[in-house]
């Protein structure tokens, strides 16, 4: 096994992310729990039959007494899902052995709810399972994300799609094409017709991009929400290179979303994007010997217009001079093609 594979495997596992941020949890017990969870979700769940029924929130506790049922019991979870036991209450406090000690009388419907609920807990790992997607939270922060639990693609497996850290722009373009455009990998529209984004939108875009980079950066560790030197500033995404002259150097990525989440709210535009440039300036000053800082903008505004950037003299010298802006399409391909056809007909008639 080559060096990059070993390094990616040891830095990318969710268990290590949990251990970095918690106390009172034994790494061996956590690893056993995660292996059982992965085995259950990869091998024993008929996703095609369940459709959207699999929506569960687990609060992980150190091992304690036996519960009324075990989450990993043969056929137990599947029977409860088919009986729609989790329709109203889907929050379970479980031990690392899978014993269900408590059922919370409430329901978590989405990652925003899961993040808010996690903030109520005293550094207890919270795992939100939504169909084949898994989100790991601690104190409201999503520390790890798995876009598809049954996929064979896992951290540490080097494929032809993997690229070195220095090709960060191509990696982000690939992620947009594969996972963002047309909501291929996750939902971000609250109302497509009104062009309203899920609130807050940055949390929706953040972890899918981190997860993709975590899988496909060939020669680096990809982390998120990193506290910079005790300042309280936290980067969205950071890539630390493993190789060559770039070893130990950082690529810092900041994410901003433009547009609206509610009809009555003011649309976020140029000012919000430029705030990202200034945040990057501060982050790059705090990182120490960074390679580059990049602003990635997901644009949900009604009009597809370029951004009026602040003077380049106010940018950090290592900020990528070309922020990446992705305009989010809300119309279906058939609607877009009809509009294009009408436009072509008008152009022909004018001639």
pLDDT in tens, the chain (351 residues): 455 555 555 556 788 888 888 878 888 889 899 999 988 988 878 887 776 678 899 999 987 778 889 999 888 888 888 887 788 889 999 999 999 998 888 999 888 889 889 999 888 999 999 888 899 999 888 888 888 888 755 555 556 788 889 999 999 999 999 999 999 888 999 999 999 999 889 889 998 999 899 888 888 888 887 665 544 567 889 998 877 777 888 999 999 999 999 888 899 999 999 999 999 999 998 877 789 999 999 999 999 999 999 999 999 999 999 999 999 998 776 666 666 777 776 666 766
* Strand, coil or helix: 10: helix
- Decide the pairing of beta strands 324-327 and 292-299: parallel
Residue 246 and residue 296 in one domain: yes
If we measure between CA atoms, which residue out of 287, 291, 42, 247 comes closest to residue 151? 42
Residue 141 and residue 169 in one domain: no
Helical H runs in the chain? 3-12, 14-21, 27-43, 47-50, 76-82, 111-119, 168-175, 201-216, 270-287, 333-350
Residue 45 and residue 135 in one domain: yes
Q: Please identify, among 119, 146, 173, the residue that sits at the C-terminal boundary of a domain.
A: 146
Structural domain containing residue 55: 3-146
Asked if 77 and 50 count as a contact pair (C-beta separation under 8 A), the reply is no
Q: Please identify, among 146, 176, 209, the residue that sits at the C-terminal boundary of a domain.
A: 146
Phi, then psi, of 51 in degrees rounded to 5: 55, -115
If we measure between CA atoms, which residue out of 175, 137, 119 comes closest to residue 326? 175
What interhelical angle do 14-21 and 27-43 show, nearest 10?
140
Residue 343 lies in a domain: no
Separation CA 111–CA 278 (nearest Å): 28
Residue 346 lies in a domain: no
Residue 191 and residue 125 in one domain: no
Residue 95 and residue 176 in one domain: no
Residue 118 and residue 215 in one domain: no
**Which two structure tokens, joined as six digits, stand for 223?**
């982390």
- Is the peptide bond prior to 200 cis by the omega test (within 30 degrees of 0)? yes
**pLDDT of 1:** 45
**pTM for the complete prediction?**
0.68
Residue 246 lies in a domain: yes
Residue 102 and residue 15 in one domain: yes
Asked if 294 and 251 count as a contact pair (C-beta separation under 8 A), the reply is yes
CATH (domain of 75)? 3.40.1700
Residue 206 lies in a domain: yes
Sign of the CA dihedral with 86 first, then 88, 90, and 92 last: negative
Q: Please identify, among 95, 115, 146, the residue that sits at the C-terminal boundary of a domain.
A: 146
pLDDT tens sequence across 60-83: 998 777 888 999 988 888 888 888
Q: How far is CA 262 from each of CA 29, 48, 280, rounded to the nearest angstrom?
A: 44, 33, 27
pLDDT tens sequence across 103-121: 888 999 888 889 889 999 8
Residue 155 lies in a domain: no
Residue 153 lies in a domain: no
**pLDDT of 50:** 73
Residue 114 and residue 174 in one domain: no
Q: DSSP letter at 218?
A: T
Q: DSSP letter at 120?
A: T
Residue 223 and residue 250 in one domain: yes
Residue 75 and residue 181 in one domain: no
Residue 63 lies in a domain: yes
Separation CA 185–CA 208 (nearest Å): 8
Residue 186 and residue 330 in one domain: yes
- How many domains does the chain contain in total? 2
Residue 48 lies in a domain: yes
Asked if 327 and 299 count as a contact pair (C-beta separation under 8 A), the reply is yes
Residue 174 and residue 273 in one domain: yes
The separation between the first and the last C-alpha atoms of the chain, rounded to the nearest angstrom, is: 64
């Amino acid at each position: 096994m080559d060096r990059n594979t070993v390094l990616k495997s040891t830095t990318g596992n969710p268990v290590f992310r949990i251990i970095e941020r918690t106390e009172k949890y034994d790494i061996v017990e956590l690893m056993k729990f995660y292996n059982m969870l992965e085995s259950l979700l990869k091998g024993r769940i008929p996703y095609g039959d369940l459709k959207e029924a699999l929506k569960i929130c687990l609060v992980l506790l150190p091992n304690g007494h036996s519960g009324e049922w075990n989450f990993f019991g043969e056929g137990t979870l599947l029977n409860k899902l088919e009986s729609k036991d989790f329709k109203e209450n889907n929050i379970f406090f479980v031990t690392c052995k899978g014993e269900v000690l408590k059922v919370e009388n409430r329901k978590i419907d989405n990652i925003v709810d899961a993040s808010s609920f996690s903030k109520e807990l005293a550094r207890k790992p919270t795992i939100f399972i939504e169909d084949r997607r898994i989100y790991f939270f601690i104190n409201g922060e999503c520390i790890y994300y798995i876009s598809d639990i049954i996929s064979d693609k896992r951290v540490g497996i080097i494929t032809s799609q993997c690229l070195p850290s220095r090709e960060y722009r191509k990696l982000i373009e690939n992620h947009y094409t594969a996972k963002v455009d047309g909501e291929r990998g996750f939902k971000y529209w609250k109302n497509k017709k009104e062009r309203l984004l899920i609130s807050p939108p940055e949390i929706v875009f953040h972890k899918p991009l981190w997860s993709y980079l975590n899988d496909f950066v060939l020669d680096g560790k990809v982390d998120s929400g990193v506290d910079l030197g005790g300042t309280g500033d936290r980067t969205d995404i950071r890539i630390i290179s493993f190789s060559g002259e770039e070893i130990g150097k950082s690529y810092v990525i900041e994410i901003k979303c433009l547009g609206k989440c509610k009809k009555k709210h003011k649309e976020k535009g140029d000012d919000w994007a430029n705030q990202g440039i200034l945040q990057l300036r501060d982050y790059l000053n705090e990182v120490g010997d960074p390679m580059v800082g990049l602003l990635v903008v997901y644009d949900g505004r009604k009009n597809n217009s370029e951004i009026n950037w602040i003077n380049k003299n106010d940018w950090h010298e290592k900020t990528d001079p070309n922020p990446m802006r992705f305009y989010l399409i809300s119309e279906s391909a058939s609607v877009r093609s009809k509009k294009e056809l009408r436009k072509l007909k008008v152009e022909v008639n004018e001639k």
